[in-house]
Amino acid sequence: MSGPYLIRGSVSLPEAELNWRFSRSSGPGGQHVNTSDSQVELRFDLTRTEALPPVWKERALERLAGRLVDGVIVVRSSEHRSQWRNRETAAVRLAALLAEATAPPPKPRRPTRIPRGINERRLREKKQRADTKRGRSGRDWG
């Protein structure tokens, strides 16, 4: 593994709280596929973790409620042939998921008014365009 995976700022995933499980990947393969456990399942207990600040933890539990099973988030990876690369992928994916889930909510949009001059200019140009198109009809050429 290439060290701690940062979530945001100085907060990172603690290696002690990550539970790894390995199994055989599905799909086609050669002679090697039947003997190696290259699929990775990474479990992170979000309810019991002490790595996240309480506000972030609350936010993550709320936003990831649909993905949690008894407060545990599960990430699987099997796209690479090697277990090591699948471990890397799963850990990066978990860190990205937690970073997105713990991000502060966006600022509320302040409604703005369109200036009257802009609206009047739009209507004036619209009328001019309509007059131009009306002038193209051949009814006066009799």
Q: What is the pLDDT of residues 104-139, one digit of tens each?
A: 889 999 999 999 999 999 999 999 999 999 988 877
Evaluate whether residue 79 is within a structural domain: yes
Evaluate whether residue 58 is within a structural domain: yes
Evaluate whether residue 123 is within a structural domain: no
Domain of 67, CATH number, reads: 3.30.160.20
SS3 content of the chain, % helix, strand, coil (to 5): 45, 20, 40
Instruction: Look at the chain and report how many structural domains it folds into.
Output: 1
Evaluate whether residue 138 is within a structural domain: no
Evaluate whether residue 73 is within a structural domain: yes
Evaluate whether residue 110 is within a structural domain: no
Q: What is the pLDDT of residues 16-39, one digit of tens each?
A: 888 888 887 776 666 666 667 788
Q: What is the pLDDT of residues 37-69, one digit of tens each?
A: 788 899 998 888 888 888 988 988 888 888 888
How far apart are the C-alpha atoms of 72 and 61, rounded to whole Å?
A: 10
Structural domain boundaries enclosing 52: 6-102
Evaluate whether residue 71 is within a structural domain: yes
Give the 3-state secondary structure of residue 107.
coil
Higher pLDDT, 71 or 3: 71
pTM of the model: 0.69
How far apart are the C-alpha atoms of 48 and 96, rounded to whole Å?
A: 19
Q: Residues with Cβ < 8 Å from 59, sequence gap 6 or more?
A: 101, 102, 103
